[in-house]
Amino acid sequence: MTTEYHVKLIQTGNTQTLTIPQDLTLSTTDVTIRQEDGKLIIEPYQKKSLLCVLATLEPLDEDFPNVDEGVLPLDDIEL
């Protein structure tokens, strides 16, 4: 059974603050908040992997030279 709490929202200017009861305290100070079906969902923030971030990028409409065709000049590299 889920325990419910009645809490008050504190209005300060254009911002609302919610006091989270001790039984529901999260182990982090960074959270993600979103609205779904009229409900607010608060979850611990999780960093996205670089692969997930890159997957959200739009494709580029640029023509890049084909490096396999020798279009780009190659400089000798001394090690």
* Structural domain spans, the chain: 27-55
Q: In whole angstroms, what is the distance from residue 43 CA to residue 32 CA?
A: 5
Residues 24-52: tens digit of each pLDDT: 999 999 999 999 999 999 999 988 899 99
Mean model confidence pLDDT for the chain: 87
pLDDT attached to residue 17: 93
**Helix count (H) and strand count (E) of the chain?**
1, 4
Q: Please say if the pLDDT value at position 76 is more than 70.
A: yes
Provide the CA 3 distance to its chain's centre, in angstroms: 29
